[in-house]
Structure 1
Amino acid sequence: MTDFMSILAIMAAMLIGAISPGPSFLLVARTSLSQSRPHGLAAALGMGVGGMVLATLAVVGLQALFMQVGWLYIGFKIGGGAYLVYLGFCLWRGAKEPLAAATEMAGGNRSLFRTFLLSLATQLSNPKTVIFYSSVFAALLPAQPSLTLILALPFVLFLIEGGWYSAVALAFSTAKPRAAYLSFKAWIDRAAGAVMASLGLRLIFGGVKV
């Protein structure tokens, strides 16, 4: 797989992961609903920067380990695949659950910078995020990726995370797009869950065949 194709595959997987509702989604949505569009965009920027930091830690740590312990690469693919299958199952199972979005938040007069810091801290404090990144990297990165590919990944994650959550901020600061998302939430979650589980199965079977 070429560097370009690897980046495209990782972008697709990361976009699916970002779209799946979770703590980050709720924070950006609630900020946009209860404060303002600029605050929502500041929160989105925090998510993007946090994603870039976690991506750097994930790819550097993984490659260092894989160079030292060859069998770990296979084990990580299988373990990461199982985790992604679990996430896909949870998304599918919870597709019909309503999305709780509070209309008020403590600290409604929070500055844009403090909103950015809160969002950044939320992203960095979520261990599932770095596990998800590492799982996708294990599935879609070659065993010996080029330096260009390694350096590009943090910026790719910034574009995916920051871009998606900026779209969330813009959507949830208006009424009609929010209502449309809530109307199709079950279908969106089920589709994301199915794709996530398929990616996990690819890791598992790929690890077994090595």
Structure 2
Amino acid sequence: MSEFTILATLASVHFIALMSPGPDFALVVQNATRYGRQTGLYIALGLSCGILLHSILSLTGVSYLVHQQPTLFALLQIAGGSYLSYLGYGALKGTWQSVQSVQSEQQNIEDPSLLLTNKRQAFSRGFATNILNPKALVFFVSLMSSLVPATMSLTGKGIALMILWSLSLVWFSFLAWALSTQRMQRKVKAMAIYVDGLCGVLFSVIGLSILWQSTATLFGLL
């Protein structure tokens, strides 16, 4: 298989994965609709940098070594599951408070630690959500090991990294832009509670399922 074919296949598989609903997708949807375009774009940048780091670690074999250490991988899963559950709790708490609020100025009451007040926080939220997601680690280990041969040139591997990073940045940035247009904001504003609630459920279900599996694995190893 030529390097061009490998890179084209890699790009196709990765782009399909990006469009699949998951924590990254939900994070952009929730925050772009709530905080606007700039926050959504910085979250997109954080997510794409997390994907780039996952790609580098997988390509260099570091992620594979982590995946082959059951105790270490279980601890990573616990950390990731806890973080996603934390995001889910915050989103559900904000949804509940919005439902209970009568006056509009009370509808944005949230846990202060979950608010995004600047670019750095938005970038950090995106980066942490991706890099702490153990499912992303497994995905990139599988993707790199199955599609990128060890004999591939350094130039080819560098192009592969750029493809994974740029596709991620373009897709999540487009999503943030599309959800923060004035027309879309008017439509989404009325559904903000439902968006927060749905994203909260998604974060919580994924986070708690990861925690359940990882703690069972960890106790089985002890």
Worse-superposed segment, 120-129 or 142-151: 142-151
TM-score (norm 1): 0.61
| 1:130-209 superposed matches below 5 A | 130-174=137-181, 175=184
Quote the residue 2:130 is aligned against.
Answer: 123
Shift of 1:124: 0.6
Quote the residue 2:104 is aligned against.
Answer: none
Quote the residue 1:21 is aligned against.
Answer: 21
1:157-196 deviation digits (Å, cap 9, x = unpaired) = 11111111111101222428979xx9xxxxxxxxxxxxxx
Q: 1:6 to 1:115 in 2, by over 3 A?
A: same
1:24 and 1:122 in contact (8 A); partners too: yes
Shift of 1:21: 0.7
- Structure 2 unpaired stretches of 5+: 69-91, 99-107, 196-222
2:32 and 2:39 in contact (8 A); partners too: yes
Quote the residue 1:8 is aligned against.
Answer: 8
2:63 and 2:141 in contact (8 A); partners too: no
Aligned length: 147
1:51-101 deviation digits (Å, cap 9, x = unpaired) = 111100001107997xxxxxx9xxxxxxxxxxxxxxxxxxxxxxxxxxx9x
| SS in structure 2 at match of 1:29 | helix
2:59 and 2:144 in contact (8 A); partners too: yes
Shift of 1:108: 4.3
Quote the residue 1:81 is aligned against.
Answer: none
> Which whole-Å CA distance do the structure 1 matches of 2:49 and 2:63 have between them?
22
RMSD: 3.1
TM-score (norm 2): 0.58
Q: 1:141 to 1:62 in 2, by over 3 A?
A: farther
Q: 1:114 to 1:139 in 2, by over 3 A?
A: same
Q: 1:9 to 1:36 in 2, by over 3 A?
A: same
Worse-superposed segment, 147-156 or 40-49: 147-156
| SS in structure 1 at match of 2:168 | helix
Shift of 1:154: 2.0
> Which whole-Å CA distance do the structure 2 matches of 1:154 and 1:56 have between them?
7
| SS in structure 2 at match of 1:21 | coil
1:56 and 1:153 in contact (8 A); partners too: no
Q: Percent identity?
A: 28
| 1:15-94 superposed matches below 5 A | 15-61=15-61
Shift of 1:111: 0.2
Q: Could you tell me which amino acid in structure 2 is paired with residue 19 of structure 1?
A: M
| Greater gyration radius | 2
Shift of 1:109: 5.2
